[in-house]
Amino acid sequence: MTATLHSPAREQRTSPAPGKGRGRIRNRNRLWLLVFLSPWAIGLVVFFIYPLLATAYFSLTNYNGLDSANFVGLRNFVYLFTGDEIVRTAAYNTLWLVVVLTVLRVAFSLGVAAVLARVQKGGGLFRVLCYLPSLVPPVAATLTFVFVLNPQIGPVNTLLRHVGIDGPLWFNDPNLSKPALTLLTLWGSGELMIIILAALLDVPKDLYEAAQLDGAGAWTQFRRITLPTIAPVLLFGMVNSIIFALQYFTQAIVAGSVASGSADMVGNSQIIGYPNNSTLTFPVWLYQQGFRAYHMGYASAMAVVLFVVSFAFTALLIRQLRGAAHTEGARS
């Protein structure tokens, strides 16, 4: 087991070359540090720190992308939390995805990985088959599922019809569009499966053997040995899935627009969220407000809210990663 998230300090040793003073080495290193880091430092300021500050500023204005921004205080936030009916739907949809997607994605990936870990014949092939869909570009994957789940001609409903079941409307039913998106996302969660599979294969085998000698059944072994050992990876998967769900945009906006059968370009405000705003996620509404309706001040206020929520989860992830690094360090 090698931890890769040690703080750099721990493995760093400056070794002075013979005959040279420490001070000179340090100065030389400082110069190289500057050379190596400056492109990234510029990028950090221009594409991360500046836009974050600017978003915070715009959120307090009525900026519309053309005229100069006027300061309006907290009016955007007041409207966001009390006035905008649609943002409430959008927040609900995103929350739905955060809860359902996160739980199902981790559980499903764990289930598939557990099966893959026990496959003896053709393991490589099965792994490739399970992983492949996660590589499919999101737009192509969404089109695939809108077609496969098409109520009239889609293969799924056709097969259901063969066994005498009247298939549902899937992406055309406000109650089923989010579950359909969930299916689409589970289909493409091969990355998490492989990460969990790696963790499963790393569980020391003698632990299982010892447990068997003590007469522990499969479930007890899973609960007492497997789960505790791979818990850090599962937690990583959880936080990762939460942040993924908070940004859920492409699949939602493309599924809504393609399923609506509308002739308009994707992102058109009439078809956004089809059917019935059920695929209108928070980032989709942010995009619509900011770049279709040019309510850029208001979109910035939404961005601030999105930032605060996702930053909270990122902080959780960082804490967990550091915690993992520390325990690893203690063990080795």
Q: How far is CA 61 from the centre of its chain?
A: 30
> Per residue, what are the HEC states of 101-160?
HHHHHHHHHHHHHHHHHHCCCCHHHHHHHHHHHHHCCHHHHHHHHHHHCCCCCCHHHHHH
Tell me if 87 contacts other proteins by CB under 8 A. no
**Shortest CA distance to 245 belongs to which of 295, 215, 217, 283?**
283
- Give me the least distance between CB of 9 and other proteins, in Å please: 6
Tell me if 68 contacts other proteins by CB under 8 A. no
- For residue 139, what are the contacts with CB-CB under 8 A and spacing of at least 6? 250, 254
Binder to other proteins among 24, 54, 227, 228 (CB under 8 A)?
Answer: 54
Tell me if 160 contacts other proteins by CB under 8 A. no
Binder to other proteins among 80, 130, 176, 280 (CB under 8 A)?
Answer: 130
Give the span between the Cα atoms of 123 and 268, in whole angstroms: 45
**Which of 70-78, 99-107, 272-280, 315-323 is the region at the interface with other proteins (rule: CB under 8 A)?**
315-323
Tell me if 52 contacts other proteins by CB under 8 A. yes
**Which of 73-81, 97-105, 121-129, 168-176 is the region at the interface with other proteins (rule: CB under 8 A)?**
121-129
Q: Which amino acid, residue 277?
A: N
Tell me if 6 contacts other proteins by CB under 8 A. yes
- Give me the least distance between CB of 69 and other proteins, in Å please: 10
Tell me if 95 contacts other proteins by CB under 8 A. no
**Could you tell me which residues are beta bridge partners of residue 48?**
none
- Give me the least distance between CB of 174 and other proteins, in Å please: 21
CA distance readout (Å), 150 to 131, 158, 260? 24, 9, 11
Q: Which is nearer to other proteins, 83 or 155 (CB)?
A: 155
Q: Which is nearer to other proteins, 89 or 150 (CB)?
A: 150
Tell me if 205 contacts other proteins by CB under 8 A. yes
254 secondary structure, DSSP code = H
- Give me the least distance between CB of 306 and other proteins, in Å please: 6
Tell me if 293 contacts other proteins by CB under 8 A. no
80 secondary structure, DSSP code = I
Tell me if 4 contacts other proteins by CB under 8 A. yes
Contact between 151 and 169 (Cβ < 8 Å): yes
- Give me the least distance between CB of 78 and other proteins, in Å please: 19
**Which of 33-41, 73-81, 85-93, 99-107 is the region at the interface with other proteins (rule: CB under 8 A)?**
33-41
Binder to other proteins among 97, 106, 199, 238 (CB under 8 A)?
Answer: 199
Region of residue 13 (phi > 0: left; psi between -120 and 50: alpha; otherwise: beta): beta
Tell me if 103 contacts other proteins by CB under 8 A. no
Tell me if 201 contacts other proteins by CB under 8 A. yes
- Give me the least distance between CB of 276 and other proteins, in Å please: 19
Binder to other proteins among 35, 73, 163, 164 (CB under 8 A)?
Answer: 35
**Could you tell me which residues are beta bridge partners of residue 71?**
61
**Could you tell me which residues are beta bridge partners of residue 13?**
none
The separation between the first and the last C-alpha atoms of the chain, rounded to the nearest angstrom, is 9
**Could you tell me which residues are beta bridge partners of residue 61?**
71
